[in-house]
Amino acid sequence: MKGTRNLTLLVIGGLVLILFFWGCSGYNGLVSADQNVKKVWSNVETNYQRRTDLYSSVIKTVEASANFEKSTLREVVEARAKATSITVDITDPATLEKFQQAQANLQGSMSRLIASFENYPDLKTTKAFQDFQTQIEGTENRINVARQDYNKSVEGYNLKVKKFPKSLLAGMFGFKEKAYYKADAGSEKNPDIQFNIK
C-alpha cells in the first residue's frame, strides 16, 4: 500500500516537473518570438526614417530653388510631418494601418513633387537631386525587404500564439496576435501608365 502511494506521488511529481519545464520552454519561446518581431519592426521603422531623411534633403534642395511650386512642396512637408507623428503599436492593426496610410501619402506627394521637376531642368541637374535619385531607389528596396522580414517574423510569432497547446500559455501570459504589414490600398491594380511620346 505504501509502495503504491509512493509510486503515485512520484508519477504526479514527474508530471508536474514535465509541465513546469514545458511551460518554461514555451514561455521563453513566446518571449523570444515577441522580441524578434519588435526587433524586425524597428528595422522597418529605421528604413522609413532613412527615406524621410532623404526626402528632407530633397525638400531643402527644392526650397533653395527660386520660383518652385510652393503648393506641391507644402503638400510634401505636411505629409512628412503626419507620417513622422504616428506611433505604431504592432498589436493594434488600426495604428499600423494609419502608419501605412501616412507613409503611402508621403510617398505619393513626393512622387508628385519629383514629377514636377520636369519643369525645372536646373534643379534636376543638381548633385543633391542626382544623389537622391540613386539613394531613394536603394531605400525603397530596403523598405520592401524590411516589410517582408517583418511579416515573416509576425507569422512565426502568431503561429506560436495561436497553435495549441502554446495558445494556453499565450493566453495566460497576455501574448496577443500581432498585425501584418499589408499591401498599400490599390496596389493590387495594374498601374495606368501613359507615355506621351511625340
How high is the pLDDT of residue 68? 64
Is residue 107 within 8 A of residue 60, CB to CB? The reply is no
Residues 6+ apart with CB under 8 A from 56: 80
- Please tell me which residue, 5 or 158, carries the higher pLDDT value: 158
Residues 6+ apart with CB under 8 A from 4: none
Looking at domain 33-150, its CATH superfamily turns out to be LemA-like domain (1.20.1440.20)
How high is the pLDDT of residue 43? 93
Of 82-96, 145-159, 179-193, which range is least confident? 179-193
- Residue-wise DSSP of 11-54: HHHHHHHHHHHHHHHHHHHHHHHHHHHHHHHHHHHHHHHHHHHH
Q: Provide the sign of the torsion angle of the four alpha carbons 74, 80, 81, 86, taken in this order.
A: positive
CA–CA distance, 7 with 187 (Å, rounded to integer): 65
Quickly state the pLDDT bin for 195 (edges 50, 70, 90): very low
- Residue with the three cell numbers 519545464: 21
Range 82-101 average pLDDT:
89
Quickly state the pLDDT bin for 188 (edges 50, 70, 90): very low
Q: Is 176 helix (H, G, I), strand (E, B) or coil?
A: coil
For 101-127, write each residue's pLDDT tens digit.
Answer: 999 998 888 888 888 777 777 766 677
- Label each residue of 136-153 as H, E or C: HHHHHHHHHHHHHHHHHH
How high is the pLDDT of residue 131? 80
Amino acid at residue number 100: Q
- Residue with the three cell numbers 508519477: 11
Is residue 185 within 8 A of residue 171, CB to CB? The reply is no
The ranges assigned to domains in the chain are: 33-150
Cα-based distances in Å from 135 to 9, 83, 141, 172, 194: 68, 20, 10, 46, 26
Global confidence as pTM: 0.77
Length of the chain as a residue count: 198
User: 83: closest CA among 98, 62, 64, 66?
Assistant: 98
Q: Give the percent of the chain with pLDDT over 90.
A: 33
How high is the pLDDT of residue 190? 43
Range 132-139 average pLDDT:
85
Q: Is residue 92 scored above 80 in pLDDT? A: yes
